[in-house]
Each structure stands twice: as structure tokens, then as C-alpha cells.
Structure 1
Amino acid sequence: MRMLHTMIRVGNLDRSLDFYQEVLGMRLLRKEEYPSGKFTLAFVGYGDEIDHTVLELTHNWDTSEYDLGNGYGHIAIEVDNATKACDMARQKGGKVIREAGPMMHGTTVIAFIEDPDGYKIEFIEKNT
């Protein structure tokens, strides 16, 4: 068994694709429209689905925003340097909501940014 993807619902697919591609450097792997169901699925990631876990962006055509609820946590991305990742995200229009620094009760360096729909993305600095 292996993890295939995580799905999140987005209110504006173009805005979300821009964020995940331009701010986080993912690439669009495939996009499928389902007119009879009035939704589009877009899969983004850092590598091909055959051997990488990816992110599925689901856009329901008649819904422009979602209540994220209190059960969702975050998407985690490993980075070489969390401070530089925050700076790069900010320069590309990303919203940094927690600057890089040690996690509470630990030493791992983390930071958080937010996507256009309010989903949290954690940068975890690689241990070298």
C-alpha cells in the first residue's frame, strides 16, 4: 500500500493552481472536468503520481468558498531552509502566518503559510 493523494476543496481553481504552482513550485500533473457533476479535479505535485504522493484540488463549480472546520490540520512540505522558503513564498504573494523557528516543545525548525482558501501549509526544515 502507499498514499496516493490528499484532496482539498478550493473555491477558485485558477487562483489555487497559481498558488500551488507559482508560490510552492508544484506542477500541474493532470486536470479533469466533469460537466455532468459540475466539478473539476486538478492534481498537483513535485513528481509524477506513479511514485509520489500528490495533492488533489477539487473545484465544485457552484461553490466559491468552504468552511474549513476544526478538524483539518495542515499540509507539510520538507524544505532545505524554512526562512528562505518563507521569504520566497512572500515574494511570490504567499501569506506567511508563522515565521520560521523551532517548534514549541522541540527543536525542529518549522514555519506556516496559508493558501488562498485558508489551508495551512507547514514548511519543515530538513535535518542535515
Structure 2
Amino acid sequence: MKFCWSTLNVNNMEESLKFYEEIVGLKVDRRFNAGANTEIAFLGDGETKIELICNDDQKQVNLGNDISWG
């Protein structure tokens, strides 16, 4: 099975980037603001990426419901 990306909503972008960069070993491919209180980062250097979305308006991420496969 192939997939292009996995989207994860996160509570803290800096903490999440630190985990994926230092522990998992992924590099940030792109990082940008996507609205007033939303930031998006794509990690990975191959055809499959992990997308992190941090929305400051979202109080708490639901780990069961806030994952999307693309």
C-alpha cells in the first residue's frame, strides 16, 4: 500500500517537530502559516510525508479522531 501523507493535528508545533526531527529522524520539508492561528509543517524527504497541523483555536487534540491518511 502506498500513501502520500499522514496528517496529525498537534497541540504544540515546536514540541511535535522536536520529536519527529530528533527521535524519528525526519527533516522539515515545508513549514508555513495557514491562517490567523494555524501552522502547518510537512516532514520527510521521500514521496511519503507527515503533515503536522497546529491550530491555536483548537483547545485539545483528540488522538483517536484527529488523524487523516491521504
TM-score by length of 2: 0.78
Q: Distance in 2 between the 1:8 and 1:26 partners?
A: 15
1:14 aligned counterpart, secondary structure: helix
Q: State the partner residue of 1:98.
A: none
Is the alpha carbon distance of 1:56 and 1:30 closer, same or farther for their aligned partners in structure 2, counting shifts above 3 Å?
same
TM-score by length of 1: 0.45
Q: Distance in 1 between the 2:22 and 2:42 partners?
A: 15
Q: Structure 1: which 4+ aligned runs deviate by more than 4 Å?
A: none
User: Deviation of residue 34 (structure 1)?
Assistant: 2.0
Identity over aligned pairs, percent: 31
Larger Rg belongs to: 1
Structure of greater relative contact order (alpha carbons < 8 Å, 6+ residues apart): 2
| Aligned residue-pair number | 65
Task: Tell me the alpha carbon deviations over residues 23-60 of structure 1, each in whole angstroms, 9 at most, x when there is no partner.
Answer: 11100000010234x21110011x14xxx101000001
Q: Distance in 1 between the 2:15 and 2:3 partners?
A: 26
Give the alignment's Cα RMSD to 1 decimal. Answer: 2.0
